[in-house]
Amino acid sequence: MASKNITFVPAAGVPAGANFDIYSGTDFQADLVVYGANNKAFDLTGYTGAAAMAKSVAIGATFGATETFTVGFTSAYAGKVRLSLTDTQTSSLAEGRYVYDFTITSSGFTYPLIRGNINVLKTITS
């Protein structure tokens, strides 16, 4: 299970960067702790989240999400959130580099929280 600390400044409008590795055929979980500019946990109470990954966003690429993450707020007050994929979802991913983003929404405003790369690796064992 991966874990990352993220700094979120809504007024900046710029997502934090975070990269992950996913092994195909296994469950994936990334636990995130979101902090504000004051280095205190950002209260995510009342927020919703959406996260998806795609093989490419390059010119001429096929658009649309390759896979959508389950987003769970494990402790919204403490800024804790989990992104996850099941082993069935990761089994269908081709090996290679993907891009992903994670946005959060509150009171009708959507903010980019994280954007980065995901490296999908085939497992040796099955």
> What is 83-118 written as a DSSP string?
EEE-HHHHHTPPSEEEEEEEEEEETTEEEEEEEEEE
The structure's pTM equals 0.88
Which CATH code, of 2.60.40.10, 1.10.3720.10, 3.10.20.600, 1.10.10.60, is assigned to 2-121?
A: 2.60.40.10
From first to last of the 126 residues of the chain, give the pLDDT tens digit.
Answer: 688 999 998 888 899 999 999 999 999 999 999 999 999 999 999 999 999 999 866 655 556 678 999 999 999 999 999 999 999 999 999 999 999 999 999 999 999 999 999 999 998 776
Q: Which two tokens stand for residue 36?
A: 């504000």
Distance from C-alpha of 7 to C-alpha of 120, rounded to nearest angstrom: 25
